[in-house]
Amino acid sequence: MTTTAPVPASAPAPATPGGKNRPGDAPAPVFSVRNLWKVFGPKAERIPGSEAAGLSAAELRERTGCTAAVRDVSFDVHPGEVFVVMGLSGSGKSTLVRCLTRLIEPTSGSLSIDGEDVLGMDRSRLRELRRRRAAMVFQHFGLLPHRTVVDNIAYGLEIQGVGRAERRRRAAEMLEKVGLAGMGRRRPAQLSGGQQQRVGLARALACDPEVLLFDEPFSALDPIVRRDMQDEVVRLHREEGRTMVFITHDLSEALRLGDRIALMRDGRIVQLGTPEEIVGSPADDYVRDFVRDVPREQVVTARTAMRPARGDEAESSGPAVSPDATVASVIEAVARTGGPARVMDGRRCLGVVDQQRLLAVVAGITPDAAPAAATAAPAAPGTAEAA
Ligand SMILES: Nc1ncnc2c1ncn2[C@@H]1O[C@H](COP(=O)(O)OP(=O)(O)O)[C@@H](O)[C@H]1O
Ligand SMILES: [Mg+2]
C-alpha cells in the first residue's frame, strides 16, 4: 500500500494463527500456488499440458467445448501483504480466488497454505480452512436479513461453536473496529450499502482468519463509499498486518491497495509485481495499455526517486519519508517545508528527494541509477547514517 505512510510490502506479519515465521529466515508464504489450472467443460482434465492448452480462449471453446478460466498460474502470497488480483471481467479472478479454498475444485496443479497441501485436505480440514484460516468477503454481502447486525457478525463464530457470551463480545469488538458502534441492533435492511459491506467485513474479521479473501467486495458501492471502504481496508491492514488477497477489476483500487498485483488476462497472469513495477515496466502491450493513464507520481516510490545525500543533507531538518512513500506524498511533504525530503529506513537516511527529482518523475524522466548504491548503504556509513 503506497499511500502517505505505507506499510512496507515486507512488513513482518504479526503472529498469525498457523504463521510459520522462522527467525532469520524469509517468512514462508501463506498461499503457494503452482501451475494451477481450472478448466470448465467436458473432459476438462485432459486440457492442462495438452496441445489444446496453448489455444486462445475462443479456439479452445470451439474445438473442445471447454473454458480454461485459470491457466497455469503460479504465485506466492507472503504473510502480511495485500496481494491484488486484477483483470477485466471474465479474466478468471473469481475462479482463481475460489480455487484457493476449493470452493471451486482446481483441475490440476498444486496449492498449499502454510506449507499444507490444500488439494489433499479431507472435508473436515477443508471446513476448518474456510471457517478459520481463510475468510471470504463477497461483493453481495450475504447477510442474513432477519438477524441483527451483531448476530450477523457473530454468525461465523456460532458455526464454530463459540459460546454465546464470547460471540457477543467479539462481535461487539468487530462492530467498533469497522466503525459501526451503536448499530448492532439494527437489521441489514436498515443499513446503507457501505454499512452492510462493513458488516460483511466485520463478520469475516470476527473469526480472526489468517488471511482475508475479497472478491470485488466494493464494486457495487458508489464511488465515495467505495473510497471509504478502501481506506478501511488500508487502515485494518496497517493496524493488524493481516494477509489479504483482494480481487478487483478496478486499476486505481488495485494500485491503492496492492503491495503486489497479479494482472490476469484470459486465465493467465500476464504480470506480477508491485504497482510501481507494473506501471513503470509493463510486461507487454496489453499491460502498457492498461496502465497508460496512471500518473507516475502515484506509483513511483521515494526509493526510486531519491539520490544520495550530499553534505549535511542526511542530518537536515527536511521532512522524513518512508522509502515506500509515493512521489505524490513526497511532493506534498516537500511543498510544505521547502527542503529536500530525507528517505528514512528507521533511523538510517537512504538518500534524499529534492524538487528536481520530483519534477523528473512527474515529467516521466527516469532517474539515473545512483539510488541503487545508496540502498546498499554500508559503503558510506558516514554520509548515509542519520544522527
Ligand atoms: N461454472 C462455470 N462454468 C463454465 N464456465 C465458467 C464457470 N465459471 C466461470 N466460467 C468462465 O470462466 C471465465 C472466468 O470467469 P470468472 O472467474 O468469473 O472471471 P472474473 O471473476 O475475472 O470476471 C469466464 O469465461 C467465465 O464465463
Ligand atoms: Mg468475478
The CATH number given to whatever domain includes residue 61 is 3.40.50.300
Asked if 290 and 308 sit in the same domain, the reply is: no
In this predicted structure, what is the pLDDT of residue 3? Answer: 40
pLDDT digits (tens, 9 = 90+) for 67-97: 999 999 999 999 999 999 999 999 999 999 9
In a domain, residue 110? The reply is yes
Q: Which three cell numbers stand for residue 199?
A: 458488516
Q: Which ligand is nearest to the CA of 140?
A: 2
Out of 256, 272, 294, a domain closes at: 294
Burial zone of 386 (CB within 10 Å; 0-12 exposed, 13-18 middle, 19+ buried): middle
- Ligand 1 first shell, C-beta below 6 A: 40, 67, 69, 87, 89-95
Q: What are the residues whose beta carbon lies below 5 Å from ligand 2 (ion)?
A: 94
Angstrom distance (rounded) from CA 355 to CA 180: 42
In this predicted structure, what is the pLDDT of residue 14? Answer: 41
Residue 94: which domain range?
A: 31-294
DSSP-assigned beta bridge partners for residue 317: none
**Mutation to probe ligand 1, out of 95, 100, 251 (largest number of atoms < 8 A from CB):** 95
Angstrom distance (rounded) from CA 96 to CA 83: 13
Contact 237, 82 (CB under 8 A): yes
Q: Identify residue 71 by its one-letter amino acid code.
A: R
The CB density around residue 294, as the number of other CB atoms within 10 Å, is: 16
Asked if 212 and 330 sit in the same domain, the reply is: no
Hey, whose CA ends up nearest to atom 5 of ligand 1?
40
In this predicted structure, what is the pLDDT of residue 232? Answer: 86
**Helix, strand or coil, per DSSP, at residue 9:** coil
Could you tell me the distance, in angstroms and rounded to a whole number, from the CA of residue 194 to the centre of ligand 2?
A: 19
Asked if 374 and 310 sit in the same domain, the reply is: yes
In this predicted structure, what is the pLDDT of residue 1? Answer: 47
Q: Which three cell numbers stand for residue 365?
A: 524522466
Q: State the CATH number of the domain containing residue 342.
A: 3.90.1280.20
Out of 238, 269, 294, a domain closes at: 294
In a domain, residue 9? The reply is no
Asked if 157 and 217 sit in the same domain, the reply is: yes
Radius of gyration from C-alpha coordinates of the chain: 23
Could you tell me the distance, in angstroms and rounded to a whole number, from the CA of residue 90 to the centre of ligand 1?
A: 6
Asked if 114 and 217 sit in the same domain, the reply is: yes
Asked if 80 and 169 sit in the same domain, the reply is: yes
Out of 278, 294, 310, a domain closes at: 294
pLDDT digits (tens, 9 = 90+) for 152-171: 999 989 988 899 999 999 99
Hey, whose CA ends up nearest to atom 2 of ligand 1?
40
Q: Identify residue 297 by its one-letter amino acid code.
A: E
Contact 319, 358 (CB under 8 A): no
Asked if 164 and 212 sit in the same domain, the reply is: yes
The pTM for the full model equals 0.82
HSE-CB of 163 using CA atoms within 13 angstroms: 2
Asked if 339 and 353 sit in the same domain, the reply is: yes
Contact 150, 185 (CB under 8 A): yes
pLDDT digits (tens, 9 = 90+) for 309-358: 998 888 887 899 999 999 999 999 999 888 899 999 999 999 999 999 99
In a domain, residue 6? The reply is no
Asked if 111 and 203 sit in the same domain, the reply is: yes
Tens digits of pLDDT across the chain (387 residues) = 444 444 344 444 444 333 344 455 678 999 999 999 999 999 999 999 898 888 988 899 999 999 999 999 999 999 999 999 999 999 999 999 999 999 999 999 999 999 999 999 999 999 999 988 999 887 776 789 999 999 999 998 998 889 999 999 999 999 998 889 999 999 999 998 889 988 998 998 898 899 999 999 888 788 888 888 898 888 888 888 899 999 999 998 999 999 999 999 999 999 999 999 999 889 999 999 989 888 889 999 999 999 999 988 888 878 999 999 999 999 999 998 888 999 999 999 999 999 999 999 988 876 554 444 444 434 333 443 333
Asked if 256 and 324 sit in the same domain, the reply is: no
Ligand 1 atom having least distance to the Cα of 38: 12
Q: How many domains does the chain have?
A: 2
Hey, whose CA ends up nearest to atom 17 of ligand 1?
92
HSE-CB of 341 using CA atoms within 13 angstroms: 30
Asked if 312 and 262 sit in the same domain, the reply is: no
